Amino acid sequence: MPRIALGQLNTTVGDLDGNVARMTEWTLRAADAGADAVCFPELAITGYPPEDLVLRPEFVRDGLAALEALATATAGACDVITGFVDRDEHGLYNAAAHLRGGQVRARYHKCQLPNYGVFDERRYFTPGTSGRRITIGGTEAGLSICEDAWHGGLPFIEYAGLPLIVNINGSPYHHGKIGEREDVLRARALETGAWILYVNAVGGQDELVFDGGSMVMAPDGIVVGRAAMFEEDLLMVDMDGGSGPATTDHTAAWPAETEEVYRALVLGTRDYVRKNGFEEVALNLSGGIDSTLVAVIATDALGPGAVRVLAMPSVFSSPESLADAEDCARRLGIRLDVVPIGGEVDAYEVSLRPLGAADGLAAENLQARIRGTNLMAVSNATGAMALATGNKSEYAVGYSTLYGDMAGGFAPIKDVPKTLVYELCAWRNAQGPGEGPIPARVITKPPSAELRPGQKDTDSLPPYDILDPIIERYVEDDLSAEEIVAAGHDAGTVARVVALIDRAEYKRRQAAPGVKITPKAFGKDRRLPITNRYPG
Amino acid sequence: MPRIALGQLNTTVGDLDGNVARMTEWTLRAADAGADAVCFPELAITGYPPEDLVLRPEFVRDGLAALEALATATAGACDVITGFVDRDEHGLYNAAAHLRGGQVRARYHKCQLPNYGVFDERRYFTPGTSGRRITIGGTEAGLSICEDAWHGGLPFIEYAGLPLIVNINGSPYHHGKIGEREDVLRARALETGAWILYVNAVGGQDELVFDGGSMVMAPDGIVVGRAAMFEEDLLMVDMDGGSGPATTDHTAAWPAETEEVYRALVLGTRDYVRKNGFEEVALNLSGGIDSTLVAVIATDALGPGAVRVLAMPSVFSSPESLADAEDCARRLGIRLDVVPIGGEVDAYEVSLRPLGAADGLAAENLQARIRGTNLMAVSNATGAMALATGNKSEYAVGYSTLYGDMAGGFAPIKDVPKTLVYELCAWRNAQGPGEGPIPARVITKPPSAELRPGQKDTDSLPPYDILDPIIERYVEDDLSAEEIVAAGHDAGTVARVVALIDRAEYKRRQAAPGVKITPKAFGKDRRLPITNRYPG
């Protein structure tokens, strides 16, 4: 009757000592609660994904020493299963270790190495060629790592008939992913007849958010217990030895999709800021819906004392926008400074007029760049990380200014389409307090960049409820323009949107990272050449 | 006695029709010159590397149609060997086709797929599992693609005893690469006893430059003929059927290293600008050595009529700097506009002083960002691509301002260490006309960003002849700080430089692409997490 703890930990990439200290603490807690073993996520020693750090031999060496240190520190507690980078004369391995009594008793090498989407594991690792069985509290268990479970081949093919399979993960979030995970685990459970203990990481790492949701999958394909989502959790599982029911000490709810996305954005923003050593953030709050949502996310992530905003009206800014920004800042309890940019605009005019560069697009971008420059000055002077406020629809079609509204260290809603921005605002307001942090007018007024008189987004772009589905089909589904038209969209609009998306690749290449929440985010998920004449 | 042409072509990624048209034209030329066959580079149909374009099914479909179109168009001329993306029910292949009489007679699938450095071929392609023999002008030949030749395994292991092996390439340049290529080809020639016809691409594609240098390697390991470097070339090779000497209609010199790097920078800059549809470039010419070198490269790449520069003195700029910028612009025959930025500085001061953000680092970065903003306004107004002027030493240690001097669509010398900047300037001046385009004082004065009174680079950084070797060891050689110290560098300096490099990762992530000229450039060559506490 083994008792096994699922240690859903928030590690930090490269923080070998910190990760080991935290695993040690949790192992002692689990042992105190009577656990025979505790299971930690994929590459928990190094944090995931360590990327090119693993190409440094001393990083692998130090990680192996950290694994030994964990074994020593937990020798008198209980068994530990954790992820680490292993190496031998053939190469490096994404590996799982079984620690007991101060020793590394078993090593398993991940067989299925993902090399698509955000994953580059073939760049680093050699695939394992067989499974590895261990015994936990008298029960035989097979070890596996993340992608292994997404295939019916190695090592699961060797585990048929085993009572138990441990699957340790660093599985990044996107909306809909939780259901996909359950489906593949169900398929593996039904194939093997085993209980599957699925342990995921939690926390943000650059563009990725690991959402937790560790779970116990029964041999009949039923989830019998689930750890928290978007936070650390230690889930205790009592097994009956293999054939009867398992029980967990608690189980967490699966949030509805809008809440799920919102919590991913909050966690991703908090961890990017904190893990990079920042205490505060600063952003430009225009009174528009995007910057308002970013201010709210930042405040939920870091607290109102850690967020400051600048409102920088120009002659094209409406009084309503400034009033909305002030209202929002008041509701959130964050510091707002009003910094009119007319003086800067006039000074540039003197320089740019003789060069013929003071009108049109140049003049519009200029305002955005003045705001970006002031924001960066505040960031430089205060040590606050600047946040960029653009959404996915804007990044897609290039409706954003390089070095202007794209300026910042992190772009929280970069992967959130505009239509979802509205849904998130409505959801967040419904959580209160009172009528919520977002003034109603911010949600109801027509979107505008306010860079020229009377400007509306729809002057340049199709309405977002038409634009966003086209972007999704082109970017996330890799459909061709013809296929999108065949799906019922207007041919002229599709052609225009696709051309805008292709042409904006150079801007996106210089964008700050943001939280991936869709199946295909801009960034390392989507690697298109800038120089590209297709489809011509 | 086959006559075979090596068609060292400059293709454009995604320009399927254009690439086919050019291959057709060259095939007719080769046939007119009596060739039995012409060989084009790796993935010449699509351009290389097409990156995630190949994940779009219609791109692969259109590429296959383009291959058929090439077969049809060259039916009456001579055989064609060219690279394309193949597909079947198992996946996609990096492939070579043998075209004859309007038909695709043979398809070879690359066996060795590089997935390191700048390469992601396992992301896209399934490896081939065997070689493919064809007959050209009565001589049997084995087909191979690029990385295949860097291994002694498949398909070369099947080609022992064949008279001829064709190796088509998209092999990107870095300094020293030419010698490496000769070494591996020599090894394959000696192992197989075959003549190897090595065809490389030429031209720039985003960060990469393909340097050409196609060659004929004899079975005894001697290079008997070489195509031009850094330009298109059609090299005619007369084979004797296998056992005797081959001859080429011409052979090109292998430039000395400084010239080689300079030509790579010129080609990479020209192709990035032109293939992205730009006619002109604009940059800020400070009178310092970096921006001067970029102005000279741009002028050599595009001609003086296509280059305009801005000199934007502040109160900290020395009169000598402006005089040097004016002198350089005069020597190059390019348009210079002088735009003092005192007005902008004063206007920002009004906004930033009350926020406590008008001094120190914020004030220094502000000047760089004003210059970046004016440059971008000129770019927006004129359609000229802005060029960033930073060098590799600066990008490494973060001695550069985001949205300031890092602003621009392309950063020509981003991978050039400062010490090499000096060498390149000396080499370029020696080419003339006269004493060359670079004023002597630009080379002799101590480097300074001129962002505060009396500032010198050495106030913040070690001298470049100390800094650059540390950067090279840490970035390109992946050595640890301890190993660098063991190689004879001062421990305190190494610790400081390594920390600076690690901390500047977030800036580099937002940098424009530039020409890769070292074995490891910043960009897709080096994929480090931003969030990273190693070594702590």
Q: Domain containing B234 — which CATH number?
A: 3.60.110.10
Residue of A nearest to B275 (CA): A531
Contact A529 B59 (CB under 8 A): no
Q: List Cβ neighbours of A434 (8 Å cut-off, separation of 6 or more).
A: none
Whether the CB-CB separation of A185 and A166 falls below 8 Å is answered with: no
pLDDT band of B152, cuts 50, 70, 90? confident
Q: Tens digit of pLDDT for each residue in B184-238?
A: 999 999 999 999 999 999 999 999 999 999 999 999 999 999 999 999 999 999 9
Which chain A residues are within 8 Å of B360, Cβ to Cβ?
A: 380-381
Q: Is the pLDDT of residue B243 over 90?
A: no
Q: Are residues B286 and B371 in the same domain?
A: yes
Tokens 């090299």 map to which residue? B235
Tell me how close the Cα of A431 comes to any Cα of chain B, in angstroms: 31
Max CA distance (Å), chain A: 83
Establish if A187 touches chain B: CB-CB under 8 angstroms. Answer: no
Contact A347 B352 (CB under 8 A): no
Q: Are residues A264 and A245 in the same domain?
A: no
Which chain A residues are within 8 Å of B311, Cβ to Cβ?
A: none
CA distance to B4, B236, B295, per residue, from B34 (Å): 9, 9, 44
pLDDT attached to residue A240: 77
Per-residue H/E/C for A427-491: HHHHCCCCCCCCCHHHHHCCCCCCCCCCCCHHHHCCCHHHHHHHHHHHHHCCCCHHHHHHCCCCH
Whether the CB-CB separation of B97 and B67 falls below 8 Å is answered with: yes
Is residue B482 in some structural domain?
A: no
Contact B55 A350 (CB under 8 A): no
Which chain B residues are within 8 Å of A120, Cβ to Cβ?
A: 120, 123, 527
Instruction: Return d(Cα B320, Cα B444) in angstroms, integer.
Output: 12
pLDDT attached to residue A1: 76
Whether the CB-CB separation of B340 and B312 falls below 8 Å is answered with: yes
Establish if A118 touches chain B: CB-CB under 8 angstroms. Answer: no
Q: In a 3-state reduction of DSSP, which class is residue B39?
A: strand
Establish if B35 touches chain A: CB-CB under 8 angstroms. Answer: no
Contact B205 A56 (CB under 8 A): no
Q: Are residues B263 and B223 in the same domain?
A: no
Establish if B456 touches chain A: CB-CB under 8 angstroms. Answer: no
Whether the CB-CB separation of A47 and A12 falls below 8 Å is answered with: yes
Which chain B residues are within 8 Å of A56, Cβ to Cβ?
A: 478, 480
Q: Are residues B192 and B271 in the same domain?
A: no
Establish if B14 touches chain A: CB-CB under 8 angstroms. Answer: yes
Which chain A residues are within 8 Å of B369, Cβ to Cβ?
A: 369, 372-373, 376, 403
Contact A357 B382 (CB under 8 A): yes
Contact A531 B206 (CB under 8 A): yes
Catalytic residues of B: 42, 110, 146
Q: Are residues A199 and A286 in the same domain?
A: no
Task: List the 469-498 stretch of B: residues with Cβ below 8 A of A.
Answer: 478, 480, 482-483
Give the residue ranges of DSSP H helices in B128-202. Answer: 177-192
Is residue B211 in some structural domain?
A: yes
Which chain B residues are within 8 Å of A206, Cβ to Cβ?
A: 529-531
The structure tokens listed for B324 are 């040097």
Establish if B120 touches chain A: CB-CB under 8 angstroms. Answer: yes
Which chain B residues are within 8 Å of A348, Cβ to Cβ?
A: 344, 373-374, 377
pLDDT attached to residue B241: 54
Is residue B471 in some structural domain?
A: no
Element of type H or E holding A380: helix A360-382
Q: Are residues B230 and B269 in the same domain?
A: no
Which chain B residues are within 8 Å of A378, Cβ to Cβ?
A: 352, 355, 357, 362
Tell me how close the Cα of A108 comes to any Cα of chain B, in angstroms: 23
Burial of B398 (0-12, 13-18, 19+ CB in 10 A): middle
Which chain A residues are within 8 Å of B378, Cβ to Cβ?
A: 352, 355, 357, 362
Query: B284: closest CA among B310, B306, B304, B321?
Result: B310
Which chain B residues are within 8 Å of A58, Cβ to Cβ?
A: 480, 482-483, 535
Q: Are residues B295 and B211 in the same domain?
A: no
The structure tokens listed for A151 are 């295939």
| This prediction's pTM | 0.97
Instruction: Return d(Cα B79, Cα A68) in angstroms, integer.
Output: 61
Whether the CB-CB separation of A413 and A297 falls below 8 Å is answered with: yes
CATH code of A304's domain: 3.40.50.620
Residue B103's DSSP bridge partners are: B100
Across the interface, of B115, B346, B478, the residue whose CB is closest to A123 is: B115
Query: B526: closest CA among B389, B392, B387, B386?
Result: B392
pLDDT attached to residue A254: 87
Instruction: Return d(Cα B2, Cα B241) in angstroms, integer.
Output: 7
Establish if A275 touches chain B: CB-CB under 8 angstroms. Answer: yes
pLDDT band of B242, cuts 50, 70, 90? low
Task: List the 67-86 stretch of B: residues with Cβ below 8 A of A.
Answer: none
Contact A51 B372 (CB under 8 A): no
Q: Are residues B176 and B270 in the same domain?
A: no
CA count, 13 A, side-chain hemisphere, A239: 30
Query: A210: closest CA among A267, A274, A150?
Result: A267
Whether the CB-CB separation of A149 and A159 falls below 8 Å is answered with: no
Instruction: Return d(Cα A316, Cα B522) in angstroms, integer.
Output: 40
Q: Are residues B206 and B279 in the same domain?
A: no
Residue count of chain A, please give it. Answer: 536
Whether the CB-CB separation of A108 and A144 falls below 8 Å is answered with: yes
The structure tokens listed for A400 are 């954003």
Q: Tens digit of pLDDT for each residue in A371-424?
A: 999 999 999 999 999 999 999 999 999 999 999 999 999 999 999 999 999 999
Q: Is the pLDDT of residue B245 over 80?
A: no
Q: Tens digit of pLDDT for each residue in B101-136?
A: 999 999 999 999 999 999 999 999 999 999 999 999
Contact A376 B365 (CB under 8 A): yes
Catalytic residues of A: 42, 110, 146
Instruction: Return d(Cα A109, Cα A88) in angstroms, integer.
Output: 11
The structure tokens listed for B228 are 């031009």
Contact B14 A536 (CB under 8 A): yes
Q: In a 3-state reduction of DSSP, which class is residue A398?
A: coil
Degrees, nearest 5: CA angle A519-A522-A524: 90
State the average pLDDT over residues B395-415: 97
Per-residue model confidence as pLDDT tens for chain A (536 residues)? 799 999 999 999 999 999 999 999 999 999 999 999 999 999 999 999 999 999 999 999 999 999 999 999 999 999 999 999 999 999 999 999 999 999 999 999 999 999 999 999 999 999 999 999 999 999 999 999 999 999 989 999 999 999 999 999 999 999 999 999 999 999 999 999 999 999 999 999 999 999 999 999 999 999 999 999 999 999 999 987 555 678 999 999 889 999 999 999 999 999 999 999 999 999 999 999 999 999 999 999 999 999 999 999 999 999 999 999 999 999 999 999 999 999 999 999 999 999 999 999 999 999 999 999 999 999 999 999 999 999 999 999 999 999 999 999 999 999 999 999 999 999 999 999 999 999 999 999 999 888 888 888 888 899 999 999 999 999 999 999 999 999 999 999 999 999 999 999 999 999 999 999 999 999 999 999 999 999 87
Q: Tens digit of pLDDT for each residue in A74-111?
A: 999 999 999 999 999 999 999 999 999 999 999 999 99
Burial of B459 (0-12, 13-18, 19+ CB in 10 A): exposed
Whether the CB-CB separation of A74 and A80 falls below 8 Å is answered with: yes
CA count, 13 A, side-chain hemisphere, B176: 4
Tell me how close the Cα of B122 comes to any Cα of chain A, in angstroms: 7
- The count of other CB atoms within 10 Å of the CB of residue B144 is 29
Query: B413: closest CA among B293, B303, B530, B533?
Result: B293
Contact A533 B14 (CB under 8 A): yes
Tokens 């004003």 map to which residue? B370
Which chain A residues are within 8 Å of B344, Cβ to Cβ?
A: 344, 347-348, 351
Establish if A402 touches chain B: CB-CB under 8 angstroms. Answer: yes
Tokens 């590996």 map to which residue? A95
Q: Tens digit of pLDDT for each residue in A208-260?
A: 999 999 999 999 999 999 999 999 999 999 987 555 678 999 999 889 999 99
Which of B16, B351, B364 should be substituted to probe chain A, the one whose Cβ sees the most A Cβ atoms within 10 Å?
Answer: B351
Q: Tens digit of pLDDT for each residue in B329-373?
A: 999 999 999 999 999 999 999 999 999 999 999 999 999 999 999
Q: Are residues A108 and A20 in the same domain?
A: yes
Q: List Cβ neighbours of A509 (8 Å cut-off, separation of 6 or more).
A: A530, B512, B513
Per-residue H/E/C for B52-109: HHHHCHHHHHHHHHHHHHHHHHCCCCCEEEEEEEEEECCEEEEEEEEEECCEEEEEEE
* Structural domain harbouring A194: 3-249
Is residue B527 in some structural domain?
A: no
Establish if A116 touches chain B: CB-CB under 8 angstroms. Answer: yes
Tell me how close the Cα of A12 comes to any Cα of chain B, in angstroms: 7
State the average pLDDT over residues B493-522: 97
* Domain limit, last residue, from A454, A486, A503: A454
Is residue A283 in some structural domain?
A: yes
Q: How many domains does chain A have?
A: 2
* Domain limit, last residue, from A207, A227, A249: A249
The answer, yes or no, to whether the previous bond of B127 is cis (omega within 30 of 0) is: no
Contact B478 A527 (CB under 8 A): no
Supply the mean pLDDT for chain B: 96
Contact A512 B510 (CB under 8 A): yes
Is residue A152 in some structural domain?
A: yes
Is residue B97 in some structural domain?
A: yes
Element of type H or E holding A369: helix A360-382
Q: How many CB pairs under 8 A join A and B?
A: 270
Q: Are residues B377 and B296 in the same domain?
A: yes
Instruction: Return d(Cα B375, Cα B391) in angstroms, integer.
Output: 18
* Domain limit, last residue, from A393, A427, A454: A454
CA distance to B49, B99, B113, B274, per residue, from B129 (Å): 22, 21, 11, 39
Q: Are residues A433 and A285 in the same domain?
A: yes
Across the interface, of B14, B366, B506, the residue whose CB is closest to A373 is: B366
Tokens 């239509």 map to which residue? A419
Residue of A nearest to B380 (CA): A362
Task: State the Cα torsion B485-B487-B493-B497 to the nearest 10°.
Answer: -100
Which of A380, A451, A508, A525 should be substituted to probe chain B, the one whose Cβ sees the most B Cβ atoms within 10 Å?
Answer: A380
Is residue B505 in some structural domain?
A: no
Establish if B20 touches chain A: CB-CB under 8 angstroms. Answer: no
Instruction: Return d(Cα B103, Cα B387) in angstroms, integer.
Output: 45
Instruction: Return d(Cα B402, Cα B408) in angstroms, integer.
Output: 10
